[in-house]
């Protein structure tokens, strides 16, 4: 509250990039190949835009509705992985995807517009869908970077290029960065930003490790276990409604994710 979503996005990347910037002194950049730089740049662009849309969506919408939409991310990841990584899903993967789509019906049906095309007209849903698509594509680019380097180096490139391109997004949106930073600091959010950066950094490091050990689409399915947490937090902190139906839908989506993970081979 009181901070522009895109500024929150930039500051998170910036704090992480400061730590990674120090680590650059111990990295032999000359050993990094052409693929590393290409996919680092593409991933930075997709990630900065995707996270910007995500923060904007959370600023406008219900956490318990926006969280489950992320389940479609695994579908985008699988499709992107087919073309860029040659990662072909088996029949169990396709069945798991179907369960994820079916489960999302129960969650989105709790909105005023119900599960319909009219729902897509809501700005927060549109922002969340764009965030999902861009971050799913970013995940494929991250794996390409990991294959060209390592999980740690890929994390550093994610932070540094993310900070660069999220700053460029601020510039194109014509935000007065000095005024926004001044307003943000006035609310004494320093500790909260450090905690946010720590959470995001830990998430990305563990995500890179997961990408290094399984196909991207399946890894993104695994992350849907966070759906129930999003719904419970939405109920606990924001008193969001129809929690039972949302949990039922989330359980179905998790069943789909579990099917993909356990039978991926």
The answer to whether the CB of 204 falls within 8 A of the CB of 139 is no
Please choose, from the candidates 18, 8, 25, the residue with its C-alpha nearest in 3D space to the C-alpha of residue 166. 8
How many CB atoms sit inside 10 A of residue 68's CB?
27
Closest C-alpha among 188, 184, 250, 259 to residue 221: 259
Question: Tokens representing 201?
Answer: 């950094």
Distance of CA 111 to the CA centre of its chain: 23
Residue 8, CB-side half-sphere exposure with 13 Å CA sphere? 20
d(CA 109, CA 52): 26
The answer to whether the beta carbons of residues 111 and 65 sit under 8 Å apart is yes
Write down the pLDDT at residue 260: 77
How far apart, in whole angstroms, are the C-alpha atoms of residue 146 and residue 253? Answer: 28
Give the per-residue pLDDT at 111.
53
Q: What is the pLDDT of residue 9?
A: 82
What pLDDT, on a 0 to 100 scale, did the predictor assign at position 113? 47
pTM for the whole thing? Answer: 0.80
Q: Which pLDDT value is given to residue 158? A: 93
| Contact predicate 141/39, CB 8 Å | yes
**Residues of the chain where predicted confidence (pLDDT) is lower than 50:** 113
Q: What angle do CA 51, 54, 56 make, to 5 degrees?
A: 110
pLDDT in tens, 19-56: 888 887 777 776 788 999 999 999 999 988 887 788 78
Give the DSSP H/E element, type plus range, for residue 28. none
């Amino acid at each position: 509250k009181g901070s522009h979503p895109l500024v929150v996005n930039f500051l998170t990347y910036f704090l992480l990039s400061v730590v990674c910037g120090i680590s650059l002194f111990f990295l032999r950049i000359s050993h990094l190949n052409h693929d590393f730089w290409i996919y680092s740049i593409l991933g930075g662009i997709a990630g900065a835009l995707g996270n910007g849309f995500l923060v904007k969506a959370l600023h406008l919408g219900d956490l318990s509705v926006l969280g489950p939409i992320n389940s479609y991310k695994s579908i985008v990841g699988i499709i992107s992985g087919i073309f860029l990584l040659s990662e072909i899903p088996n029949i169990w993967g396709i069945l798991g995807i179907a369960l994820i789509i079916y489960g999302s019906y129960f969650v989105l049906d709790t909105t005023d517009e119900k599960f319909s095309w009219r729902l897509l007209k809501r700005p927060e849903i549109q922002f969340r869908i764009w965030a999902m698509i861009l971050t799913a594509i970013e995940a494929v680019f991250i794996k390409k970077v990991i294959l060209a380097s390592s999980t740690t180096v890929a994390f550093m490139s994610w932070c540094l290029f993310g900070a660069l391109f999220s700053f460029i997004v601020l510039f194109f949106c014509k935000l007065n960065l000095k005024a926004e930073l001044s307003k943000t600091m006035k609310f004494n959010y320093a500790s909260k930003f450090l905690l946010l950066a720590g959470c995001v950094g830990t998430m990305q490091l563990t995500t890179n490790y997961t990408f290094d050990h399984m196909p991207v689409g399946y890894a993104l399915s695994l992350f849907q276990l966070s759906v129930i947490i999003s719904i419970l937090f939405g109920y606990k902190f924001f008193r969001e409604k129809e929690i039972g139906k949302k949990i039922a839908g989330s359980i179905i989506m998790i069943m789909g994710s579990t099917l993909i993970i356990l039978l991926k081979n």
